[in-house]
A and B are shown apart, each in its own frame.
Chain A
């Protein structure tokens, strides 16, 4: 018999009212101070990340909730008072979500190779039984994207582009947009780490 460990508690969907507990302002609640967890404060270049999550029929997932996790501008986690974590709800009418954060630095991979700058994203929603894990990369980093150890581990090279955001024409802040396709032809790559 293999060694027995405790078993992880099983996941269940966050459901349609996930905002009540995780982003009360988006549910119409004001039980807490008006927290804005989609805005990350920290030293570095301010950027905006936007996007939409699409279902397998091409419709926006308007009740999605996203969480972001990233390094600071020097590629460090949990350093210098930068929380590195954020949470955003899809707009209930359009499904659009937005984060305002700082551009992340380079984090070494487990063997010391540099990874291309990226943020990690988790997606929770009604109909998603266990949250989905993906990444957002930046289009300017062409050489670093080519060498990124995580992107290179995606066998079908054509699918790697699903993790690279597009720079938009926003004038106030560098803004990047990523459409996350849950299912279908251009399905986003989701990770199991």
Chain B
């Protein structure tokens, strides 16, 4: 098998630094020593391949995948977009996992004790795979804002957590999707861990009327970029490796 090129080095200036004291939990959970930089090895340039039959038919429909006696309550939305790598190539057949609170900002998790009630018809977990061109979509309800014990009165903007694999272990990414126009966005200490305003903008999904379904659901578009892969130039490889 010809060896694939290296995953391109991560530009960590695009990402939050580990220590961001305004997000208090990061203070004790951030390494103080520098990361050890290395070129990737063959194991890091490869990654798990998930088969499409992993998915159940309703896995990408959060309005129905936890339904008990009806559909989830809230603003019905479709979230869709394209997963590309830094070189502009689509990332096909990669697993995308999402989780979120319900319309009132309550998570279905035994550690969440917020007084807003659970929705009996909403679980908050979904997953899908990108198609051959890197496109994905899922259907859900728009999550509500959520208070959290950071500073005295911090509220998370409406957000959906998103996790991606790509085709290499080094492309792994977990991030959060926010919604265009939310006035909580500039107040959020977690989004504020990102040093660059342009980077924060890239986490904001855009209202997409063209893809809305009249009398049914609004649509938001959220494109995602994973690390790219380059050709292996001038690598000192023994013959036949």
Contacts and interface: CB of A to CB of B under 8 A. Distances in A.
Interface of A: 5-22, 24, 27-29, 31-32, 55-57, 59, 61, 63, 67, 69-71, 77-78, 83-85, 92, 107-112, 115, 120, 122, 124-132, 150, 153-154, 182-184, 187-193
Interface string B198-214: 01101100000000000
Contacts of B127: 21
18 contacts: A8-B86, A9-B175, A12-B191, A12-B194, A13-B176, A15-B161, A17-B112, A21-B125, A21-B163, A28-B109, A92-B111, A120-B44, A127-B25, A128-B18, A128-B30, A129-B18, A131-B174, A193-B37
A45 B141 CA distance: 46
Interface of B: 7-8, 10-12, 14-18, 20, 23-33, 35-44, 46-50, 56, 59, 65-66, 84-88, 97-100, 107-112, 123-127, 161, 163, 169-170, 172-176, 190-191, 193-194, 199-200, 202-203, 224-228, 235-238, 241
Contacts of B161: 12, 14-15, 17-18, 21
A108 B36 contact: no
B144 to A, nearest CB: 14
Quick one: which of B11, B26, B41 has the most chain A CB within 10 A? B41
Contacts of B109: 16-17, 19-20, 27-28
Given A71-B43, A107-B41, A85 B48 contact: yes
B15 A130 contact: yes
Nearest to B20: A129
A17 B87 CA distance: 33
Contacts of A129: 15-18, 20, 23, 26, 30, 193
A12 B36 contact: no
Interface centre among A31, A70, A112 (most CB of B within 10 A): A31
A184 B31 CA distance: 8
Given A77-B42, A92-B110, A187-B31, 11 more contacts: A8-B173, A10-B194, A10-B202, A12-B175, A20-B125, A21-B126, A108-B241, A112-B241, A130-B16, A150-B41, A182-B30
